[in-house]
């Protein structure tokens, strides 16, 4: 599919997945079948490549004030390592996109937004930031993102890390080492089941091998649980 973007995991997807166009990316619609994969998430565990979603760091003395200005909730009230689901508005109060905001430190936040609006959302944040003492940095291509969802998500991920994942509360994040990689893990997701979103830090799109290796280790860890 010419002209489409690809994630770090494209070599695996090309070999095993049913690829389609989604939000300008070449992504797998399914691997073994939609129904069985849906039921795996409901009853056991499944994994999604959600790297096509956008991720921006907002850093600076006025990071909290800036995000209070562009979203409908108050990121300034979040504790460090806490997040929330919110929407970002235009000048008229209309909704531009729904997104998740996590506070990583007193003056740094991670903003996660939808793949279909990735370029537009980053552009909007960067433009609005001009009136604030902040820096907006798009880290989407340096931070592959996976969603591990389902009743057995914690059980599977726990095999790959010594960090007690039971300590990660809903809509909170923690920095962990998992399978030898630095990651930011959030207890969140869009499936309606318990689960985690995992951001593998510092893996550029041009050198995706660590992400592909981790994906394979994760599938192996979840084999007995029906991933």
SS (H, E, C) 81-128: CEEEEEEEECCCCCEEEEEEEEEEECCEEEEEECHHHHHHHHHHHHHH
CATH of the domain at 172: 3.30.1360.120
Domain hosting 87: range is 54-140
Residue 87: inside a domain: yes
Pair 46, 58 in one domain: no
Helix, strand, or coil here: 75? helix
Q: Which of 97, 116, 140 finishes a domain? A: 140
CATH of the domain at 91: 3.30.70.1400
Pair 134, 149 in one domain: no
Q: Tell me the angle at which helices 63-70 and 118-128 cross, rounded to the nearest 10 degrees.
A: 120
Residue 5: inside a domain: no
Which tens digit of pLDDT belongs to each residue from 156-189? 999 999 999 999 999 999 999 999 999 999 999 9
Q: How many domains does the chain have?
A: 2
Residues of the chain with pLDDT under 50: none
Residue 226: inside a domain: no
Strand stretches in the chain, DSSP E: 18-22, 25-30, 46-49, 54-59, 83-89, 95-105, 108-113, 135-138, 145-149, 173-178, 181-186, 195-200
Which tens digit of pLDDT belongs to each residue from 47-64? 999 999 999 999 999 999
pTM of the predicted protein model: 0.94
Pair 208, 181 in one domain: yes
């Amino acid at each position: 599919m010419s002209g489409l973007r690809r994630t770090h995991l494209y070599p695996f997807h090309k070999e095993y997945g049913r690829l389609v166009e989604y939000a300008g990316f070449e992504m797998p619609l399914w691997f073994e079948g939609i129904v069985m994969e849906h039921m795996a998430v409901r009853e056991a565990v499944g994994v999604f490549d959600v790297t096509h979603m956008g991720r921006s760091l907002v850093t600076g003395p006025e990071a909290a004030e800036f995000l209070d200005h562009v979203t409908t909730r108050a990121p300034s009230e979040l504790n460090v390592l806490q997040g929330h689901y919110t929407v970002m508005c235009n000048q008229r109060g209309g909704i531009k996109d729904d997104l998740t905001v996590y506070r990583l430190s007193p003056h740094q936040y991670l903003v996660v937004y939808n793949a279909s609006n990735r370029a537009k959302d980053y552009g909007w944040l960067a433009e609005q930031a001009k009136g604030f003492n902040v820096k907006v940095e798009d880290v989407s291509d340096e931070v592959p993102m996976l969603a591990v969802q389902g009743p057995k998500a914690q059980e599977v991920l726990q095999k790959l890390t010594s960090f007690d994942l039971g300590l990660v509360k809903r809509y909170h994040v923690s920095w962990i080492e998992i399978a030898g990689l630095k990651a930011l893990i959030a207890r969140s997701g869009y499936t309606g089941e318990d689960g985690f979103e995992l951001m593998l830090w510092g893996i550029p799109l041009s050198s995706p091998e660590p992400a592909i290796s981790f994906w394979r280790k994760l599938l192996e860890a979840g084999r007995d649980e029906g991933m």
